[in-house]
Amino acid sequence: MSSFEIWAVILGLTVITFITRGFFLLMGERIELSETLQNALRYAPAAALVAIIAPEMFFTEGPNELEINSAYFWGGICSIIAFWLTKSMLLTIILGMLAFTAIRLVLA
């Protein structure tokens, strides 16, 4: 790739990112989102977080190998259970990290 192509890609991705992320800010009050769409958008951060964490939690050995004997898997399961029972984000993080560390030390 030439230097020009690299800068063209960087500039193009910058413009695309600016447009997609700033669309609602740029349009202001000219576009009114329906209540259904606004409710659906509330789940976007949680969905993005799950999309990032779930593959690391379940597939630590490779993309096609489900690994349940990993500290990531059991730390994640402990975190899910902790949040389900307590609804406390801080306690979820603490219990998940404790489980992850303990299992990592046992498996090592």
pLDDT-derived band of residue 19, with 50, 70 and 90 as boundaries? confident
Inter-CA distances, 97 with 3, 9, 46, 80, Å: 44, 39, 19, 12
The tens digit of pLDDT for each residue in 47-66 reads: 888 888 888 888 877 677 77
Tell me: do 72 and 42 sit in the same domain. Answer: yes
The model's pTM? 0.57
pLDDT of residue 98: 94
Tell me: do 63 and 74 sit in the same domain. Answer: yes
What torsion, rounded to 10 degrees, do the Cα atoms 46, 52, 57, 63 define? 140
Tell me: do 28 and 38 sit in the same domain. Answer: no
pLDDT of residue 36: 92
Residues 25, 13: Cα–Cα separation, whole Å: 19
Tell me: do 51 and 8 sit in the same domain. Answer: no
Residue of higher predicted confidence among 89 and 26: 89
Count of structural domains, the chain: 2
Tell me: do 13 and 27 sit in the same domain. Answer: yes
pLDDT of residue 41: 84
Would you state the structure tokens that stand for residue 46, as one six-digit string?
A: 């949680």
